[in-house]
């Protein structure tokens, strides 16, 4: 079984359990905390990936880091994943959990690359358009300034992309002109 499938299955099981235990929001917060911690700490990620490090040691390290900061269900889940020898997929599992949580809650993430920082008015307009087009209950915006765009923006939602940048328009025009001159 691929790591992505295993991660998704572990995440789905944890979602089911968290709903059953009426701790869905708390465990989602735990998954975000664990994901951010692993993402920012390459040593922790290396420890979790390393098959030579004993499972008890890995479990102890996670317990020291997170201890009482996380829900009891999350602590049990971490121990289960590590004891099954699947600590290498823990990071992917946290991301899969958040993705599935967002699907259940109707939360959509939109990535916006723009030539300059978005104004509050721009941000509100993008949120309104994305919510309308996707039927989302909530839209989260990840903003990135990319001065190479010259002006305008590129909006990505899921696997769809809308390019309203000047650089994108110039590239499109350049391609069209190169076809005409051939």
Lowest mean pLDDT: which of 49-58, 100-109, 147-156? 147-156
Q: What is the mean pLDDT of residues 27-56?
A: 96
pLDDT tens track for 96-113: 999 999 999 999 998 988
CATH fold of 3-103 reads: Peroxidase; domain 1 (1.10.520)
User: Taking 80 as the threshold, does the pLDDT of residue 83 lie above it?
Assistant: yes
Q: What are the extents of the domains in the chain? A: 3-103, 107-180
Q: What is the mean pLDDT of residues 5-31?
A: 96
Q: Which tokens belong to 75? A: 């602590």
- What confidence score (pLDDT) does residue 146 get? 86
């Amino acid at each position: 079984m691929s790591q992505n499938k295993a991660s998704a299955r572990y995440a789905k099981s944890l979602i089911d359990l968290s709903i059953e235990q009426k701790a869905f929001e708390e465990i989602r917060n735990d998954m975000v905390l664990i994901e951010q911690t692993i993402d920012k700490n390459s040593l922790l990620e290396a420890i979790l990936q390393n098959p030579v490090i004993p499972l008890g040691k890995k479990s102890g390290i996670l317990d020291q880091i997170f201890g009482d900061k996380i829900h009891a269900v999350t602590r049990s889940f971490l121990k289960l994943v590590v004891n099954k020898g699947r600590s290498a997929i823990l990071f992917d599992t946290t991301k899969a959990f958040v993705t599935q949580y967002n699907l259940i809650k109707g939360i959509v993430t939109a990535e916006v690359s723009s030539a300059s920082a978005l104004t509050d008015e721009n941000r509100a307009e993008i949120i309104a358009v994305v919510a309308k087009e996707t039927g989302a209950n909530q839209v989260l915006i990840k903003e990135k300034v990319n001065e190479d765009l010259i002006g305008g923006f590129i909006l990505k939602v899921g696997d769809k992309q809308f390019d309203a940048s000047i650089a994108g328009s110039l590239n499109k025009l350049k391609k069209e002109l190169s076809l005409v001159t051939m």
